Structure formats: structure tokens, C-alpha cells
Structure 1
Amino acid sequence: MDSLKTAEALWNRIQARDWTGVGELLAGDVVVEWPISGERIVGRENYVRVNAEYPQGWTIKVLRILVDGDEVVSEVEVPHETLGIFRVAAFWTVNEGRIVRGREYWTELGSEPAPEWRAAYVERM
């Protein structure tokens, strides 16, 4: 499976709650970092469990996936019924159809207030 198909399959399987299938796309020793919260997930089982244990009520909406060889970037919206709308920018390294390394930047839309000094230069979304 090429890098694009691996990333597409990952998000599709997460949406389907196919946790066995998610694990099949990960190297056993995968390392995924979450810099925003300062966490590192080491190993296939830990990554699968973190995602499987997240409170239900969410949906995956892939906005775009960009690929350069074994490097994949995806932007995904994750609306949650009660917790709000989240976005993730995920950076993956894929080797022989498996994700070996990743870095995900998760944020909640509108969670960071815009500083006043920028008001003259920006438009609110």
C-alpha cells in the first residue's frame, strides 16, 4: 500500500472504529507525538487504545491529504457532539505501507483567543 492509501485507510478505519484495522496500518514500534499536550505515544497498542478510548460522539472529516514519497500530511476536522469541533494536522512517515512515526497537532476551533494587537490586520473566521 502506498503512502496516500495508508493515510486514507487510517482515517477511514478510525471513523469506522475498526481498531484492529487501525493497528494493521501501524508499525509495532510506532511513535506518535502530540506536541500541543506534550505527550508521546509509543507502540501500536497504545496508539490504538488512546483513539479507541476517546469519548464517543465524534466524526472524522478528511479535508486534505498531501504526499511526498513516504511523508504524508493530512488536515482533518473532528466534530464532537458535546466537546466541540477539533482540527488535527497530522504528519506521518510511512514505510512499506505502515506508519512508523507521526506528529499530530490537535486544537479546538476558536479555543485560542485572538490578541487585540492583530485586530487591524485580520478578519474573524
Structure 2
Amino acid sequence: MEEDQILEALNAHWQASAVGDANAEHDIYDDDAICDYPQSGERILGRSNLQALRSHHPGKPSGFQVKRIIGQGELWITEYTINYQGQLAYTVSIMEFRNGKVVHETQYFADAFEAPVWRSQWVQQIT
């Protein structure tokens, strides 16, 4: 699969995620895909389990914003935010492709935090 086709598939995946289309969202995954959540120590085996898990999330996201997608070959990274009940979760998804499908994804989630005043002279605020 060419890189422009992977980017197109990723954009369709994230758009489907944003509108809650669980079927279209999971088209990108291989049947035997693995998804890891390192922070909770969980591994989801198979597209059907991943779709079921996400479909039963009790606090469905109310907003979703892709910041950037970068990648090359079979390794692609997406930075995005998810709004869960008024709280932003800053998220990084690392996807490994084989034969045009995601075979392994690792997702990292981080909560926003207040920037310490002591370092304000060296930084700029970003959104």
C-alpha cells in the first residue's frame, strides 16, 4: 500500500472515530490486530475485541481533534485530543501496517496539567 493510501485510510479512520461510526472506524485494522494501552497494562487482541471495547465505553467522547499525522512506510503516528466529559486527553497513536491494515497499535493517553510558573520565562504557550 502506498503512503498516500495509508494517509487516506488514517484520515477516514480518525473521521469515523470522531463521529462515532464504529464499523468504519475499525475497517483499518487487520482481523488479528493487537492494540496496547501501556499505561493501564492492557492488550486487546483482535479487531472484534477492539471494536467491542470501544463500542461499550461508558463515557463516549464528545469531541475529537487530530493535531498531526506523520509516518513513512509501515509506521505511522497520530497526535490528537479526545474530549471525555469536558476533560481533554492528549493522545498518541502509533500504528504499524502490514498489507494495508493495522496489525499493531500502541496508544498513550495523558491528561492536561497546569504549566509551572517557574519556567514561564523560557516557554511559549501553545494550544
- Farther-moved stretch of structure 1 (10-19 vs 59-68): 10-19
Paired position in structure 1 for 2:102: 99
Who is 2:47 aligned against? 44
Match among 72, 77, 83 for residue 76 of structure 2: 72
How far has the Cα of 1:33 moved from its partner? 0.5
Q: Structure 1 residue 48: deviation in Å?
A: 1.1
Q: Which has the higher contact order (CA 8 A, sep 6+)?
A: 1
1:83 Cα deviation after fit: 4.9
Asked if 1:23 corresponds to 2:26, the answer is: yes
Q: Give the conservation status (yes or no) of the 8 Å contact 1:10–1:22.
A: yes
1:84 pairs with 2:83? no
1:124/1:36 CA distance change after superposition, 3 Å: farther
Q: Quote the RMSD (CA, aligned, Å).
A: 2.3
Instruction: Tell me how far apart the structure 2 counterparts of residues 124 and 103 of structure 1 sit (CA, whole Å).
Output: 29
Scaled by the length of structure 1, the TM-score of the pair is 0.82
Which of 50, 62, 66 aligns to 2:66? It is 62
Deviation string for 1:84-105 (max 9, x for gaps)?
A: 1101111001123211111000
Task: Write the deviation string for residues 60-96 of structure 1: whole angstroms up to 9, x where unpaired.
Answer: 100000011111000001122x251101111001123
Could you give the per-residue CA deviations for residues 9-37 of structure 1, whole angstroms, max 9, x where no partner exists?
21111112111112321100100111111
When residues 57 and 7 of structure 1 are mapped into structure 2, their CA distance, relative to the original with a 3 A threshold, is closer
Gaps of 5+ in 2: none
Distance (whole Å) between structure 2 residues aligned to residue 67 and residue 86 of structure 1: 22
Q: What SS does structure 1 have at the residue aligned with 2:63? A: coil
Tell me which residue corresponds to 1:3. 6
* 2:37 corresponds to 1:34: yes
The TM-score normalised by the length of structure 2 is: 0.80
CA distance in 1, matches of 2:124, 2:44: 34
Contact 2:77 2:95 in 1 (8 A): yes
Identity of matched residues, %: 20
Is there any run of 5+ residues in structure 1 with no aligned partner, and where?
none
